[in-house]
Amino acid sequence: ANKLKNAKLVLLGDVGTGKSSIVLRFVKGQFVEFQESTIGAAFFAQTLSVNDETIKFEIWDTAGQERYHSLAPMYYRGAAAAIIVYDITNPATFTRAKKWIKELQAQGNSNTIMALAGNKADLLEARKVSSEEAQAYAQENGLFFMETSAKTSTNVNDVFYEIAKRLPQA
């Protein structure tokens, strides 16, 4: 029988790293060059079938601007999964991602599945964060790591599939 499972998912990460673009790619299969900066947070829902289950992701796409930081706990509290996004061309965003991970480890639900996404992987010539460094950090902290591109769609669905596979049995 096909089981339906709801999963609250939050995206966190610095401004401009591509959180909204990843969601837009996953939910609508689209990409826009001039995505507007998110204000507060935006909500989306998308289902995904894995084996004999249908997962309904309830997605909170948060705003990366620092002035919205205090809102974040409303979105990550009780989340089944979190995708922490940085931009592979911008080391400061990797530093910010590590801070988010520390905050989640300290404040979040210890059962939250965490994914580290190095986005803008299409911009290889501008890379400033090596995949080895990010992979090592993810491994030490019990996250899984993928480099994604919302622009080309590389690994975007895969991040959600990997999360779906890791969700606890209902």
Residues at the contact surface with ligand GTP, assessed by CB under 6 A: 13, 15-21, 32-35, 37-38, 63-65, 119-120, 122-123, 149-151
Copy the structure tokens of residue 71.
């809102």
**At 119, phi and psi to the nearest 5?**
-90, 170
Copy the structure tokens of residue 22.
């990843």
Q: Which stretch binds Mg ion (CB under 5 A): 30-38, 47-55, 108-116, 155-163?
A: 30-38
Helix (H) or strand (E) holding 49: strand 41-50
Q: Toward ligand GTP, which CB reaches closer, 93 or 167?
A: 93
33 binds, among ligand GTP, Mg ion, none (CB under 5 to 8 A by kind): ligand GTP
State which of residues 17, 20, 112, 148 lies at the interface with Mg ion (CB under 5 A). 20
Where residue 107 falls (left for φ over 0; alpha for ψ -120 to 50; beta otherwise) is alpha
Tell me, rounded to whole angstroms, the distance of Cα 161 from its chain centroid. Answer: 12
State which of residues 17, 38, 148, 155 lies at the interface with Mg ion (CB under 5 A). 38
Question: What residues line the site for Mg ion (CB under 5 A)?
Answer: 19-20, 38
